[in-house]
Structure 1
Amino acid sequence: MTIRPARPEDASAIAGITNAIISDTLVTFTTDERHPVSIAADIELRDSAFLVAEVEGEVVGFATYGPFRSGPGYAECREHSIQLAPKARGKGLGSALMNRLQEVARAEGVHVLIAGISSANPSAIAFHAALGFAKVGQMPEVGFKWGQRLDLVLMQKILAQE
């Protein structure tokens, strides 16, 4: 397994991972699939804050972060996303990606990482808790997908504490 910065040529593989999650699960509230061109632009924009996990030359997961909210008061806070292909789950790749992403975030002066997690994804809540994220809130019924109202669970980790 290799964790490395994403490259624009990884965009199709990343689109395959995220679009399967969008179309087949309640993990994300969106129903709009991502196009490789927009993912490649995100990779260029986020640079070192967009990582991939690669196994035997195949991209099987990614982690990235972007602004949590606009305005200078939130300059040191980022919201992250992590997604793995089904065949990559349960093998430690998610933890490896998140540990590296946190290293990058600290180096870039990020103080807090935020996770916004669908209540339909209890494994992601447990995953983040195991990494030291604390549940700081739950927003009832803010998500709607496939006729279901879903809660958004907010978790955060203050990076300076380590």
Structure 2
Amino acid sequence: MIVRPARAEDAAALVALWNPWIENTAITFSTELKTETGLAADIATRGPAFQVAEAEGALLGLATFFPFRAGPGYARTKEHTIILSPAARGRGAGRALMSTLEEVARGQGVHSLFAGVSAENPEGVAFHTAIGFRETARLPQVGYKFGRWMDLVLMQKFL
């Protein structure tokens, strides 16, 4: 397995990887499906802040970071997303992606990373805890999907 910066030509595979999580799970509160055009634009804009894990020509997952909030006072704090294929879970791809993403973030002067994890995703909370993130807040009923309200767990890691 290798971790590398995402390329525009990865967009179709990333859509196929990401959209089932949006459509079928509560790990993301989003209901808006990703598009190849949108992901290609994100890849171009974020550059090395958009990484993928690949093995034998197949993408196993992605990790990317983006502004936590608008405004210059927040410039050194970022939020990230990590998405893995079901086959990649438990095989080290998540740790490898996050390790590389944290390296990129440090190189860009980022001080801390946030993860917004659905409380309905205990595996996501456990993963982030295992790699050094700590729960800083639990926001009740801020997400709505599948006809129900869901809590958001904010987790932070200082780099």
Instruction: State the TM-score bracket (shorter-chain normalisation).
Output: over 0.9
What is the rounded CA distance, in whole Å, between the counterparts of 1:16 and 1:113 in structure 2?
26
CA offsets, 1:26-54, max 9 Å, x none?
A: 00001110101100000000001000000
Instruction: Output the aligned Cα RMSD.
Output: 0.5
Equivalent residue, structure 2, for 1:13: 13
Alignment coverage as a number of residue pairs:
159
Secondary structure of the 1:54 match is strand
2:123 aligned with 1:103, yes or no? no
One-letter amino acid of the structure 2 residue matched with residue 135 of structure 1: E
Equivalent residue, structure 2, for 1:44: 44
Superposition deviation, residue 148 in structure 1 = 1.3
Equivalent residue, structure 1, for 2:63: 63
- The within-5 A match list for 1:107-118 is 107-118=107-118
| Structure 1 residue ranges (4+ consecutive) displaced by more than 3 angstroms after TM superposition | none
Superposition deviation, residue 84 in structure 1 = 0.4
What is the rounded CA distance, in whole Å, between the counterparts of 1:117 and 1:46 in structure 2?
21
Superposition deviation, residue 119 in structure 1 = 0.5
Superposition deviation, residue 17 in structure 1 = 1.1
Q: TM-score, normalised by structure 1?
A: 0.97
One-letter amino acid of the structure 1 residue matched with residue 100 of structure 2: R
Equivalent residue, structure 2, for 1:150: 150
One-letter amino acid of the structure 1 residue matched with residue 127 of structure 2: F
Equivalent residue, structure 1, for 2:134: 134
Superposition deviation, residue 60 in structure 1 = 1.4
2:32 aligned with 1:23, yes or no? no
- Structure 2 alignment gaps of length 5 or more: none
Secondary structure of the 1:4 match is strand
CA offsets, 1:93-120, max 9 Å, x none?
A: 0001001100000001000000000000
One-letter amino acid of the structure 2 residue matched with residue 6 of structure 1: A
Equivalent residue, structure 1, for 2:84: 84
What is the rounded CA distance, in whole Å, between the counterparts of 1:32 and 1:76 in structure 2?
28
Equivalent residue, structure 1, for 2:33: 33
One-letter amino acid of the structure 1 residue matched with residue 33 of structure 2: E
